[in-house]
């Protein structure tokens, strides 16, 4: 059994920034990441980020990933990193079992920050399992990390920010985006992204959905249909579109299965993306010394995940006796940044959702 | 309608343009019509001409007296929602962000495109800035006939 | 199909890696995952559903959905979207739940 003060599960924006603030406070940590590299989903975000300077606005996500990774690599004695390592067990006494190179490793930790992020939702329609139907984020990885195109002709399902941004990036990579379809009667993401696509000649069809996909070994075409106000298909409005790729971008759900395993109290909150933990103002769950940061406690933009990571790293270090010399100032600043990021109309769902999972500071 | 198809209305567009008298000098046109948490246009402006304030969800307001049309906000805007417009004789001159390949070359004639993605005119490529400073968002200066000043938004390569 | 020109990214030509896919000698490049190397060759079908044997491809790219599980060097249920390609790997399409191996 290996002993650690803090284990951070997930090496994306939230996990990396938590490790940085913990290290700055004097607390060592171990970051466990199941991919073979750090950075999480930032490594494929070729677009400039929104937010303010403190969350690296106007810097491209790929470059923010480098900044955050370099920030933790500055503390080689404080931050240990295990990539290609999957957490397979998480127990209430804070014993963690890891799988790395076909070997089991047991770690006893004093505190845990779960920063596992979120995964893309799927959409139900006949033949939705055909090869050639992908999560939009998966296609973003394929293109922007691996340099491989998904196909020649694509339709995007979903007009949230991910759907709009990935459509634009498909065009940048040289793919023909035939249209974006959206079940709701209005565009879900930022209109600046929508306008960017429209002026490139890509139609965004609101009140439309996929009725079925066709193909034998792989996707060959899709049938789309208009929807009425009750989101039912309108007969006679079906249209077949020949595509070799279909991207599904209908939201993310928190990757909260490890939280279930450790027995954290959870709630299904649709405005946060799915099953999320009850948390207090310190991001501590109902299990003492088990904390969460980032999309796992409510799906938001990566800017918020970064700040949540900073905040949680700061708090956890303090709770283990490593209080940052500027604790009060930093605490107020991170809280204010989060409030600012969430205060507009696009933050409304998050604000409501977070109220539903707010819990008193008393821990079991 | 912006909410349904991504195309800003004529009223929305006109609300961001100063008068033609003011446009004798180059000015920033910020086509950011909703409250999103974002402020690089304001913080990157060296002349303090774009105001957002403490709440980063506030929509930007340009002070045309202070704006010099330098174009820094154009490549600083994560939404690629800012262009610089100017009236030069009988032409409208724009500086716009461009993130596709191939890049235009000075002297080429490209198609001028409106906010719906339709080709509306020809656009003469006058200058292409692609330096480390613009961080992979090229700044393309073009001129189009003056009558399209409120419709033109970007260029498309003639295939 | 690989991206050759991109406005934001540069993809350098990396070292070729030879591997075996369902008995055929094929190749990818250093930095590829097994799934991206196969995709670049035009192979979209990576797996099958367990009961109905419906074809399955790449879906999540984060090692979560199990849609890209394959047999790699005799080991079943390898998440090929998060496994780096190595020279000489033997990759096979998986038709069942996967057998225990030594």
Tell me the pLDDT tens digit for each residue of B140-152.
999 999 999 999 9
The residue of chain B with its CA nearest to that of A63 is B135
Q: CA B129 → CA A57, A173, B126, B134, B135, distances in Å?
A: 22, 21, 10, 8, 11
Tell me the pLDDT tens digit for each residue of A135-150.
999 999 999 999 999 9
Spatial separation of the C-alpha atoms in residues A59 and A53, rounded to whole Å: 9
> What's the whole-number mean pLDDT along residues B93-101?
98
CATH class of C16-92: alpha beta
Spatial separation of the C-alpha atoms in residues A62 and A44, rounded to whole Å: 6
Which A positions 60-89 lie with beta carbon below 8 A of chain B? 60
Tell me the pLDDT tens digit for each residue of A221-254.
999 999 999 999 999 999 999 999 999 999 999 9
Superfamily of A2-119+252-356 according to CATH: FAD/NAD(P)-binding domain (3.50.50.60)
Distance from CA of A121 to the nearest CA of C (A): 9
Residue of A172, A174, A217 with shortest CB distance to C8:
A172
Spatial separation of the C-alpha atoms in residues A264 and C42, rounded to whole Å: 44
- DSSP labels, A218-280: SEEEEEEEEB-TTSPBPTT--EEEE-SEEEE-S-EEE--HHHHHHT--EEEEGGGTEEEE-B-
CB-based burial label for A233 (10 Å; 0-12, 13-18, 19+): middle
> What's the whole-number mean pLDDT along residues A169-197?
98
More reliable by pLDDT, C13 or A131: A131
The residue of chain C with its CA nearest to that of B130 is C7
3-state secondary structure of A96: strand
pLDDT of C101 > 80? The answer is: no
pLDDT cut 90: percent of chain C above it: 84
pLDDT the model gives residue A363: 46
Q: Cβ contacts (< 8 Å) between B157 and chain C: which residues?
A: none
CB B16 within 8 A of CB B29: yes
CB A9 within 8 A of CB A115: yes
pLDDT of A330 > 50? The answer is: yes
The residue of chain A with its CA nearest to that of B100 is A172
Give me the residue spans of the domains in chain A: 2-119+252-356, 122-248
Spatial separation of the C-alpha atoms in residues C44 and A276, rounded to whole Å: 34
Neighbors of chain C by Cβ distance (3+ pairs < 8 Å): A, B
**Alpha-carbon dihedral angle through residues B28, B29, B32, B37, given to the nearest 10 degrees:** 10
Cβ neighbours of residue A343 closer than 8 Å, sequence gap 6 or more = B37, B55, B57
Which A positions 217-256 lie with beta carbon below 8 A of chain B? none
Q: Cβ contacts (< 8 Å) between C7 and chain B: which residues?
A: 99-101, 136, 138
A120–C49 C-beta distance less than 8 A: no
The DSSP element (H or E) to which A174 belongs, if any, is none
Which A positions 160-199 lie with beta carbon below 8 A of chain B? 171-172, 185-187, 190-199
Domains of chain B: total: 1
CB A282 within 8 A of CB A315: yes
SS (H, E, C) C87-102: CCCEEECECCCCCCCC
User: How many CB atoms neighbour CB C21 within 10 A?
Assistant: 20
> What's the whole-number mean pLDDT along residues B64-86?
98
Q: How confident is the model at residue C102 (pLDDT cuts 50, 70, 90)?
A: low
Touching check for A143 and chain C: CB below 8 Å?
yes
Residue carrying structure tokens 């990021």: A341
Touching check for A341 and chain B: CB below 8 Å?
yes
Q: Is domain A122-248 given the CATH code 1.10.1240.10 in the classification?
A: no
Tell me the pLDDT tens digit for each residue of B27-60.
999 999 999 999 999 999 999 999 999 999 999 9
Spatial separation of the C-alpha atoms in residues A9 and A22, rounded to whole Å: 14
B100–C8 C-beta distance less than 8 A: no
To test the contact with chain B by mutation, choose from A45, A57, A303 the residue with the greatest count of B C-beta atoms within 10 A, namely A57
CA angle centred on C25, ends C20 and C28, rounded to 5°: 75
Touching check for A236 and chain C: CB below 8 Å?
no
pLDDT the model gives residue C95: 87
Q: Cβ contacts (< 8 Å) between B104 and chain C: which residues?
A: none
pLDDT cut 70: percent of chain A above it: 99
Residue of A119, A148, A172 with shortest CB distance to C62:
A119
3-state secondary structure of A315: helix
Spatial separation of the C-alpha atoms in residues B78 and C87, rounded to whole Å: 40
pLDDT of B94 > 50? The answer is: yes
Q: Cβ contacts (< 8 Å) between C44 and chain A: which residues?
A: 131-132, 217-218
What is the torsional sign of CA B158, C2, C6, C10? Answer: negative
To test the contact with chain C by mutation, choose from A10, A100, A103, A138 the residue with the greatest count of C C-beta atoms within 10 A, namely A138
| DSSP conformational letter for B101 | S
Spatial separation of the C-alpha atoms in residues B31 and B62, rounded to whole Å: 11
Distance from CA of B92 to the nearest CA of C (A): 27
pLDDT of A364 > 50? The answer is: no
Touching check for C51 and chain B: CB below 8 Å?
no
CB A299 within 8 A of CB A273: yes
pLDDT of A28 > 70? The answer is: yes
Tell me the pLDDT tens digit for each residue of A158-171.
999 999 999 999 99
Tell me the pLDDT tens digit for each residue of A104-122.
999 999 999 999 999 999 9
pLDDT of C97 > 80? The answer is: yes
**Average pLDDT taken over every residue of chain C:** 94
Q: What is the domain range of residue B115?
A: 2-156
Q: Cβ contacts (< 8 Å) between A144 and chain B: which residues?
A: none
Q: How big is chain A by its Cα radius of gyration, in Å?
A: 21
**Alpha-carbon dihedral angle through residues A312, A315, A319, A324, given to the nearest 10 degrees:** 130
Structure tokens given for A362: 């008393």
Touching check for A48 and chain B: CB below 8 Å?
yes
Interface size A-B, in CB pairs within 8 Å, comes to: 133
Interface size B-C, in CB pairs within 8 Å, comes to: 10
To test the contact with chain B by mutation, choose from A191, A226, A301, A342 the residue with the greatest count of B C-beta atoms within 10 A, namely A191
> What's the whole-number mean pLDDT along residues A86-100?
96
B78–A344 C-beta distance less than 8 A: no
ipTM at complex level: 0.97
pLDDT of C96 > 90? The answer is: no
Q: Cβ contacts (< 8 Å) between C82 and chain A: which residues?
A: 34-36
The DSSP element (H or E) to which A314 belongs, if any, is helix A302-319
> What's the whole-number mean pLDDT along residues B124-137?
96
Q: Cβ contacts (< 8 Å) between A342 and chain B: which residues?
A: 37
Distance from CA of B99 to the nearest CA of C (A): 6
pLDDT the model gives residue A361: 57
Q: Are A2-119+252-356 and A122-248 in the same CATH fold?
A: yes
Q: Cβ contacts (< 8 Å) between C8 and chain B: which residues?
A: 99, 136
């Amino acid at each position: 059994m290996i002993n650690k003060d803090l284990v951070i599960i997930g090496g994306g924006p939230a996990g990396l920034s938590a490790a940085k603030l913990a290290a700055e406070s004097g607390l060592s940590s171990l970051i466990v990441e199941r991919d073979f590299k750090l950075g999480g989903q930032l490594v494929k975000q070729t677009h400039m980020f929104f937010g303010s300077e403190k969350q690296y606005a106007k810097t491209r996500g790929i470059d923010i990933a480098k900044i955050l990774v370099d920030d933790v690599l500055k503390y080689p004695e404080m931050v240990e990193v295990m990539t290609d390592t999957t957490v397979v067990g998480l127990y209430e006494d804070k014993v963690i079992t890891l799988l790395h190179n076909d070997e089991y490793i047991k770690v006893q930790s004093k505190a845990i920050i779960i920063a596992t992020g979120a995964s893309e939702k799927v959409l139900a329609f006949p033949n939705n399992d055909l090869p050639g139907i992908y999560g939009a984020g998966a296609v973003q990885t394929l293109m922007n990390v691996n340099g491989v195109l998904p196909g020649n002709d694509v339709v995007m399902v979903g007009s949230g920010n991910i759907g709009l941004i990935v459509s634009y990036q498909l065009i940048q990579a040289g793919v023909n985006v035939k249209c974006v379809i959206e079940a709701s009667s209005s565009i879900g993401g930022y209109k600046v992204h929508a306008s960017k696509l429209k002026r490139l000649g890509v139609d965004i069809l609101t009140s439309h959905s996929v009725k079925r996909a066709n193909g034998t070994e792989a996707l060959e075409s899709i049938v789309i249909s208009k929807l009425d106000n009750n989101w039912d298909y309108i007969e006679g409005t079906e249209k077949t579109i020949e595509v070799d790729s279909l991207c599904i971008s209908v939201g993310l759900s928190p990757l909260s299965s490890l939280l279930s395993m450790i027995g954290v109290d959870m709630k299904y909150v649709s405005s946060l993306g799915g099953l999320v933990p009850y948390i207090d103002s310190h991001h501590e769950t109902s299990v003492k010394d088990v904390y969460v940061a980032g999309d796992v406690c409510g799906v938001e933009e990566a800017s918020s995940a970064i700040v949540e990571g900073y905040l949680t790293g700061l708090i956890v270090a303090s709770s283990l006796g490593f209080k940052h010399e500027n604790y009060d100032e930093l605490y107020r600043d991170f809280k204010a940044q989060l409030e600012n990021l969430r205060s507009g109309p696009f933050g409304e769902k998050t604000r409501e959702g977070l109220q539903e999972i707010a819990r008193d500071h008393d821990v079991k | 309608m912006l909410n349904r198809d991504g195309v800003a209305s004529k009223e929305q567009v006109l609300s961001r343009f100063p008068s033609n008298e003011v446009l004798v000098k180059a000015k920033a046109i910020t086509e950011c019509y909703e409250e999103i948490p974002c402020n690089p246009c304001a913080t990157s402006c060296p002349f303090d001409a774009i105001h957002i304030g403490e709440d980063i969800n506030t929509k930007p307001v340009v002070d045309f007296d202070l704006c010099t049309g330098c174009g820094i906000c154009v490549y600083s805007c994560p939404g690629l929602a800012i262009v610089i417009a100017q009236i030069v004789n009988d032409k409208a001159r724009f500086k716009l962000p461009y993130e596709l390949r191939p890049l235009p070359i000075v002297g080429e004639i490209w198609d001028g495109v409106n906010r719906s993605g339709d080709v509306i005119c020809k656009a003469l490529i006058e200058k292409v800035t692609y330096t480390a400073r613009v961080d992979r968002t090229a700044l393309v200066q073009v001129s189009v006939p003056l009558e399209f000043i409120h419709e033109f938004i970007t260029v498309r390569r003639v295939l | 199909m690989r991206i050759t020109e991109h406005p934001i990214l540069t993809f350098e030509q990396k070292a070729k890696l030879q591997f075996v896919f369902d008995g055929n000698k094929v190749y990818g490049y250093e930095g590829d995952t097994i799934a991206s190397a196969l995709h670049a060759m035009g192979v979209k079908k990576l797996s099958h559903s367990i009961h109905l044997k419906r074809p399955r491809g790449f879906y999540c790219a984060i090692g979560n959905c199990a849609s890209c599980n394959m047999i790699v060097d005799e080991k079943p249920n390898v998440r090929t979207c998060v496994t780096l390609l190595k020279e000489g790997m033997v990759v096979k399409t998986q038709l069942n739940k996967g057998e225990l191996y030594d």
